[in-house]
Amino acid sequence: GDSVTQMEGPVTLSEEAFLTINCTYTATGYPSLFWYVQYPGEGLQLLLKATKADDKGSNKGFEATYRKETTSFHLEKGSVQVSDSAVYFCALSEGYGGATNKLIFGTGTLLAVQP
């Protein structure tokens, strides 16, 4: 079945460092791809999404590009802040509308940014 694999954490960076969190996926069809973020003590929030190949999702300085040829959706940010410390989840949706909107998540990557 469909699955998502993301790099294990924790990832520890200094403020203003460059961030990459790798995510690859396996899917039989043409999934939509997402990054969710979970700040300490809060629920999951959608950070960005991409619905087709070569789409770039972006939000709050984070970016990820849907690469069908490498089945990847790596999360990047040019300069992280302490406030970016959170757990980041890569996810895919098997259906885009239609019968199901089920999300399949990776295991999450803890990012800790030090001042």
Partner 1 sequence: EAGVAQSPRYKIIEKRQSVAFWCNPISGHATLYWYQQILGQGPKLLIQFQNNGVVDDSQLPKDRFSAERLKGVDSTLKIQPAKLEDSAVYLCASSLDLLAGWDEQFFGPGTRLTVL
Please state the closest distance from residue 67 (CB atom) to partner 1, in A: 20
Please state the closest distance from residue 41 (CB atom) to partner 1, in A: 8
Give 16 or 46: the residue with its C-beta nearer to partner 1. Answer: 46
Strand partners, 3: 26
User: Is there a contact between 85 and 112 (Cβ–Cβ < 8 Å)?
Assistant: yes
Type and span of the H or E element at 35: strand 32-38
Query: Which range binds partner 1 by CB under 8 A, 16-24, 62-70, 76-84, 92-100?
Result: 92-100
Contact residues for 69 (Cβ-Cβ < 8 A; gap 6+)? none
Please state the closest distance from residue 72 (CB atom) to partner 1, in A: 17
Is there binding between residue 1 and partner 1 (CB under 8 A)?
no
Is there binding between residue 46 and partner 1 (CB under 8 A)?
yes
Is there binding between residue 43 and partner 1 (CB under 8 A)?
yes
Cα–Cα distance measured from residue 19 to residue 47, given in angstroms and rounded to the nearest whole number: 15
* Other beta carbons less than 10 A from residue 66's beta carbon: 21
Cα–Cα distance measured from residue 66 to residue 9, given in angstroms and rounded to the nearest whole number: 22
Query: Which range binds partner 1 by CB under 8 A, 14-22, 53-61, 67-75, 87-95?
Result: 87-95
Give the binding site for partner 1 (CB under 8 A).
Answer: 4, 32, 41-46, 51, 89, 91, 93, 95-108
